Amino acid sequence: MSLDLATALQRSTVLYDRERLDHEIRRLAAELDAHYAGGERPLLLTVMHGGLPFAGQLALAMHTDIEFDYVHASRYRGQTTGAGLAWLHRPATPLRGRKVLLADDILDEGNTLRAIRQWCLDEGASEVRVAVLAEKEHDRRVPGIAAEHVGVKVPDRYVYGYGMDVYGQGRNLPAIYALED
């Protein structure tokens, strides 16, 4: 089944508007500034494509000087359920000895973030922290992954907007929506 964006919006409710998301991103930025205060320059790895709006806003809200790169690994490829992990881009920046901050749109079951986090550690990162705009509330999280920094909690429904897509659409919506069952 595939929905066009207009139909999806008609069948959805707004969970968090832009004002609330901006507030939560500023809160996360303050947490991260406190964590990185007086230390080495961290590397912000944006998890593409979904993490792009969140990571950009987070970076602009932080006062800490950060270096940028990105990683692109996906299980969804335009669908609403995940498949095998596909690595589309690995960071060009060496990770050995670096503090890495992974920024992604959502922590759902965690397969993709766990694999990316483990890859960063295997590459020699001295620390890997995870910041997500949203964390889905359910009991299906894979062992070995958690987000140290979470903007908002979302129900166990299909959510989209602010980086997250519905059938490849709606990533640039300025709010988080939940598709009705």
The catalytic residue positions are 108
CA 18, CA 9: separation in Å to the nearest integer? Answer: 16
First to last CA, the chain: 13
CA 115, CA 160: separation in Å to the nearest integer? Answer: 22
Q: Is 176 left (phi over 0), alpha (psi -120 to 50) or beta?
A: beta
Q: Is 38 left (phi over 0), alpha (psi -120 to 50) or beta?
A: left
Tokens of 98: 């670096």
